[in-house]
Amino acid sequence: MSCHAPVQDPVEPTAAEAKIAGKNGASGQKLKTVALIGPPNCGKSTLFNRLTGLRQKVANYPGVTVEHHSGKMKSIGRADLTLIDLPGIYSLATYSEDARVAVEVLTGRMPGVPRPDCVLLVLDATHMNRQLMLAAPVFSIGLPTLVLLNMSDQLAARGGSIDTLALAKELGHPVALISASQGKGLDVIPDFLLRAGPKFDSGLRPVQLPVLQSAASCRSWATQVTSRTKYEQPAAALWTRRLDAVLLHRYFGPIIFLLVVLGVFQVVFMSGQPLSDWMTEVLTRAGTHAALLLPDNWLRLMLRDGLWNGVQAVIVFLPQILLLFLFIGILEDSGYLARAALIADRVMRAIGLNGKAFIPLLSAYACAVPAIMATRTIENKRERIATILVAPFMTCSARLPIYTLMIAAFIPNMHFLGGAIGLRALVMLGLYALGFLAAMITAKLLNSKVMKASAAPFILELPQYRWPTPQGLALRLYDRGKLFVKKAGTIILACTFVVWVLSVLPAHLLLHQVGPDRVTFSDLASSYIGHLGHFIEPVLSPLGFNWKIGIGLLSSIIAREVIVGTLGTLYGVDPATHAQTLHAALRHDMTLGGAIALVVFFAFAMQCTSTLAVVRRETNSWKLPALQFAYMTVVAYVAALVTNQVITRLF
Amino acid sequence: MAETVASDVTLLSDAKVGSTGVVEHIDLPEDVCHYLAHLGFLPGTKVEILRSAPAGDPRVYRIDGVEVGLRRDTAQHIYLRLTPNGAAR
């Protein structure tokens, strides 16, 4: 197949190049689609974001991108070109789902994605011997290729060097040294694309590629190329070694790991809570003022009591969510995450999970949806299914609002160890631990029942430590904040609206005057929602939940945060609790047992339509999501029942 | 194929932290070999045993300027020819 002539005649094009030139020339077809390809964690998505102005998730560990993403190359003035970002691959042979996606898109076999017209091959310049192995199979696809040696800043800082001209001659494709994170050297890309346009001519000529493209032959080819082009491998990153000596230390390593986790909770809760309280105050005042501008009729009631109370109850958690994501961002961008996976591998193995499952499971702390997508990097199918099944037990950020609400309302603000650790942070940590335990036990059960222990190995590349950039973190927070506010403004708003409507209907019964200028609704219990609530109450009262909580639970099947909005609306509409804060209203209306049972229920229950949808998409059947929903709901119910009964007896 | 294991050939999992060696051969299923090969684990490549994770396993190996974590049950199928101490560098 790839039986190319050795470097020689500068005029005679290869068969592949002739075909491209011919195709482009004959039909006058223009360059339209550009694919970004490269090994994992070499900076493809960072470059993608640079070139398109979009914001794909980037982080410092292999396997962040598991899907193909397209964007117009607006940032370099080529909005006519589509750039496709692909998951990282080591070769064109694929053993995992994410690699399959990359190779299918690259070779034009992915339905719905246009075949790329040219390729930007991104390689990490700090270890070329290995990275170049991918070049041979990519060149043999026969598309015009620009080789981008990324991380030029790292290469220079650590005393490595590379002769790009010699390398270009050796490879037969143009080569440029860039730094995607600093935006250096990127001007070669538009130049290349112009030349790759109507009639491609790189000015460079074919080379000898390994005939048999096995790993070993690609490898020796790569080594020959780098030695012929006088590549100087940079020194080992000193700081990475020094940091690892501490962070992976026998005793300090696990201690630091625990301190990091505890510290995150402490900060999210301690600094987040005052910010949330402040937001509550501001938003309540804003709502009251705005309400005065409206006529005192059903409209004001609907907007303030119905919609504003509900949405506001959720929005106030924005500071905590952002703080949580700030920490996740720092951990991911610095490269600590991969070390954490190494430390946690012992635990993961004890329950029969692949160490590779650790990163998807960790990202489930943000949200189960990307976590389930991230399981694509797990080659073994059964382990992948097991990881998908347990991922929703990890405490996602959508659980944070209800946890924070109940903890702030029911747990006293006590401190131990001279104020270093708060009781509330400990309870929060306990809830996270609970979810983790449920995941572990489920995995263990699956392992002994469904799956035999598999031989899939744990192989993890440790990236170098890097400083998280303020811009990178700021963008993450901005995107996260936007997503959260958008959710509050759409799904949560819609849900609270439905709840409100049902809570004031049938209207003729409920709307009545209280004094000359007050209109209010009375007797929430006889509204439609009251009837529904009382209908389901017998099932929930053993858990210590009243009917309002029951309605909240029903509404939260759509998304977990919705319960806070629903409770905000219901307690806002109810004349008995109308004037109270949500905290006070809840304290008034629930026992401690019921409150703890509620958060325990949330720790286990699968209340998230997005997760169910993504599981169905990734497994191509409703079987798994249905099973997951049933299993998690039963676990949640039983656990909440036990919690309520025990706490009620004890206190 | 029938290799007589020389005295200085050892299992990667048995090599001490801090020592270096050259990969002799790898005795693992094809897909695992393939993956390892692309991380640099190929006969003739120099490996340094960098450190072990706090629990003693997995361990971190430096190969080709890249640090890779491997569990013991993978590393014990990789055969290594140890580099004599003085000539490590």
| Nearest-by-Cβ selection for B74 from A253, A343, A458 | A458
Task: Return the axis-axis angle of helices A562-573 and A493-504, rounded to nearest 10°.
Answer: 30
Task: Return the axis-axis angle of helices A164-171 and A215-228, rounded to nearest 10°.
Answer: 140
Confidence tier at A522 by pLDDT (50, 70, 90): low
The answer to whether A251 and A287 are in contact (CB under 8 A) is no
Please, which residues bridge with residue B62 across strands? B48, B67
Q: Which residue has the higher pLDDT, A629 or A267?
A: A629
Per residue in A584-595, pLDDT (tens digit) is: 888 888 889 999
The answer to whether A137 and A213 are in contact (CB under 8 A) is yes
Question: In sequence order, what DSSP letters do the residues of A106-163 get, joined into one string?
Answer: HTT-STTSPPPSEEEEEEEGGGHHHHGGGHHHHHHT---EEEEEE-HHHHHHTT-B--
Block residue for tokens 């020592």: B19
With a pLDDT cut of 70, the percent of chain A lying above it is: 88
Q: Which of A35-44, A166-175, A565-574 has the lowest mean pLDDT?
A: A565-574
Chain-chain contact of B51 with A216 (C-beta, under 8 angstroms): no
In B, what residues contact A, Cβ < 8 A? 28-29, 31-40, 42-43, 50-51, 53-55, 57-58, 60, 62, 64-71, 73-74
Q: Could you give the CA distance from residue A149 to residue A124 in angstroms, rounded to a whole number?
A: 6
How big is the CA angle at A218 (ends A214 and A222), to the nearest 5 degrees? 170
Q: And the tokens for B61? A: 């190996």
Q: Which residue has the higher pLDDT, A211 or A335?
A: A335
A412: left (phi over 0), alpha (psi -120 to 50) or beta: beta
Per residue in A424-440, pLDDT (tens digit) is: 888 888 998 999 899 88
Class (C level, CATH) for B9-88: mainly beta
Per residue in A59-94, pLDDT (tens digit) is: 888 888 888 999 999 988 888 999 999 999 988 887
In the prediction, which pLDDT does A458 show? 78
User: What strand order describes the sheet that includes A78-85?
Assistant: A69-73, A78-85, A33-37, A118-124, A145-150, A175-177
Q: Answer whether residue B75 shows pLDDT above 80.
A: yes
Q: Answer whether residue A367 shows pLDDT above 90.
A: no
Q: Could you give the CA distance from residue A156 to residue B86 in angstroms, rounded to a whole number?
A: 30
Give me the mean pLDDT over the A545-568 stretch: 89
List, in order of start, the domains of chain A with CATH numbers: 15-228 (3.40.50.300), 296-310+470-650 (no CATH)
In the prediction, which pLDDT does A419 show? 66
In the prediction, which pLDDT does B30 show? 81
Mutating which of B59, B60, B66, B74 best tests the A interface, going by the most A Cβ atoms within 10 A?
B66
Q: Answer whether residue A574 shows pLDDT above 60.
A: yes
In the prediction, which pLDDT does B48 show? 92
Give me the mean pLDDT over the A154-165 stretch: 88
Q: Could you give the CA distance from residue A572 to residue A436 in angstroms, rounded to a whole number?
A: 35
Per residue in A216-235, pLDDT (tens digit) is: 888 888 888 888 888 888 88
The answer to whether A386 and A440 are in contact (CB under 8 A) is no
Chain-chain contact of B65 with A216 (C-beta, under 8 angstroms): no
Chain-chain contact of A462 with B69 (C-beta, under 8 angstroms): yes
Q: Could you give the CA distance from residue A600 to residue A403 in angstroms, rounded to a whole number?
A: 9
| Nearest-by-Cβ selection for A127 from B66, B70, B73 | B66
Confidence tier at A529 by pLDDT (50, 70, 90): confident
A515: left (phi over 0), alpha (psi -120 to 50) or beta: left
Q: Read off the DSSP letter of residue A466.
A: -
Residues of A in contact with B46 (CB under 8 A): none
In the A/B pair of chains, how many CB contacts fall below 8 A?
A: 113
| Nearest-by-Cβ selection for A90 from B38, B42, B62 | B38
Chain-chain contact of A457 with B43 (C-beta, under 8 angstroms): no
In the prediction, which pLDDT does A392 show? 94
One-letter amino acid at A437 equals L
Q: Read off the DSSP letter of residue A39.
A: S
Q: Could you give the CA distance from residue A330 to residue A609 in angstroms, rounded to a whole number?
A: 29
Q: Which of A67-81, A239-253, A381-395, B74-88 has the lowest mean pLDDT?
A: B74-88
Which residue in chain A has the smallest CA separation from B68? A461
Residues of B in contact with A345 (CB under 8 A): 53, 55, 57-58, 69, 71
Q: Answer whether residue A483 shows pLDDT above 90.
A: no
Confidence tier at A452 by pLDDT (50, 70, 90): low
Q: Which residue has the higher pLDDT, A340 or A417?
A: A340
Q: Answer whether residue A517 shows pLDDT above 50.
A: no
Residue A118 CB partners (closer than 8 Å, separation 6+): A31, A34, A35, A143, A144, A145, A146, A193, A196, A200
Confidence tier at A644 by pLDDT (50, 70, 90): very high
Q: Which of A49-63, A317-331, A455-469, A631-645 has the lowest mean pLDDT?
A: A455-469
**What is the residue extent of each domain of chain B?**
9-88
Q: Which residue has the higher pLDDT, A454 or A476?
A: A476
- Alpha carbon distances (Å) from A11 to A7, A203, A253, B82: 11, 9, 59, 49
Question: In sequence order, what DSSP letters do the residues of A230-298 get, joined into one string?
Answer: T-BPPPP-HHHHHHHHHHT-TTHHHHHHHHHHHHHHHHHHHTHHHHHHHHHHHHHHHHHHHHHTS-TTH
Q: Could you give the CA distance from residue A7 to residue A208 in angstroms, rounded to a whole number?
A: 6
Q: Which of A157-161, A191-195, A500-504, A516-520 has the lowest mean pLDDT?
A: A516-520
- Alpha carbon distances (Å) from B46 to A131, B21, B81, B87: 16, 6, 9, 12
Confidence tier at A175 by pLDDT (50, 70, 90): very high
Q: Could you give the CA distance from residue A316 to residue A565 in angstroms, rounded to a whole number?
A: 11
Q: Could you give the CA distance from residue B49 to residue A583 in angstroms, rounded to a whole number?
A: 56
| Nearest-by-Cβ selection for A216 from B42, B55, B73 | B42
Q: Which residue has the higher pLDDT, B18 or A420?
A: B18
Average pLDDT of chain A?
82
Give me the mean pLDDT over the A270-283 stretch: 83
Query: Widest CA span of chain B, in angstroms?
Result: 37
Q: Answer whether residue A470 shows pLDDT above 50.
A: yes
Confidence tier at A615 by pLDDT (50, 70, 90): very high
φ and ψ of A175, to 5 deg: -130, 140
B78: left (phi over 0), alpha (psi -120 to 50) or beta: beta
In the prediction, which pLDDT does A604 show? 94
The answer to whether the peptide bond before residue A506 is cis (omega within 30 degrees of 0) is yes
Per residue in A294-328, pLDDT (tens digit) is: 777 677 777 777 778 788 888 888 888 888 889 88
Which residue in chain A has the smallest CA separation from B60? A462
In the prediction, which pLDDT does B53 show? 84
Compute and round to an integer the Cα radius of gyration of chain A.
Answer: 29
Separation in Å, CA of B81 to nearest CA in chain A? 18
Chain-chain contact of A458 with B68 (C-beta, under 8 angstroms): no
Q: And the tokens for A64? A: 């962040």
Q: Which residue has the higher pLDDT, A63 or A107?
A: A107
Q: Answer whether residue A490 shows pLDDT above 90.
A: no
In the prediction, which pLDDT does A601 show? 95
In the prediction, which pLDDT does A455 show? 56
Q: Which residue has the higher pLDDT, A251 or A449?
A: A251
- How far from each other are the two terminal CA atoms of chain B, in whole angstroms? 30
Residues of B in contact with A130 (CB under 8 A): 38-40, 64-66
Block residue for tokens 């009591």: A305
Residues of A in contact with B13 (CB under 8 A): none
Q: Answer whether residue A512 shows pLDDT above 60.
A: no
Q: Could you give the CA distance from residue A577 to residue A571 in angstroms, rounded to a whole number?
A: 6
Task: Give the side-chain half-sphere CA count within 13 A for A219.
Answer: 18
Chain-chain contact of A343 with B55 (C-beta, under 8 angstroms): yes
